[in-house]
Amino acid sequence: MLNVLLHTLLFVCPSVPILSQKSFKEAVKFDSWKEAMMTEIKSLETNQTWSLVKLPPGKPVVGCGWVYEVKHKADGSSRIHTDRGVDFFETFSPVAKLTTVRFLLSVAVSQNWHLHQLDVDNAFLHGDLHEEVYMKL
């Protein structure tokens, strides 16, 4: 076991995430959500994420929808409203759990490591997709 102080161990304890879960019908009532959706759509268009085509016979189709979430600053205050389109049945998002981040931070402190962080907007748009995927809008 690592030789860490009690306050470091307490720092690793899990907390309850606060998510803003709204339906599209509820979200469009708020300007901040409408702006977030338009920003997301513009990012998808700018990165040439898709093109509208007719579905070829026999090709599988994936569904999609919106997920609404409020991102928070380190002090817990609201930073930005974010939303993203997701496939309801085949979604994978490689995001670290808060408890994992806290654990790594406590190890870094105990080892006197220097840390850096970053956030990549629309990170999934920066990769190349070599398969054909058909999505119903």
103 lies in some domain: yes
Residue 97 counted as domain residue = yes
pLDDT for residue 65: 80
pLDDT tens sequence across 93-103: 567 788 888 89
Q: Is residue 126 one of the residues assigned to a domain?
A: no
Domain count, the chain: 1
Whether 113 is covered by a domain: the verdict is: yes
The pLDDT of residue 76: 61
Residues (pLDDT < 50) of the chain are 1, 6-19, 86-91
Q: Is 103 exposed, middle or buried (0-12, 13-18, 19+ CB in 10 A)?
A: middle
- Report yes or no on 95 lying in a domain: yes
Is residue 9 a part of any domain in this protein? no
The tokens describing 62, both together, are 């994936």
Which domain covers residue 99, as residue numbers?
19-48+59-121
Identify whether 110 is part of a domain: yes
Predicted confidence at residue 77, as pLDDT, reads 62
Domain for residue 129, yes or no? no
Reported pTM: 0.50
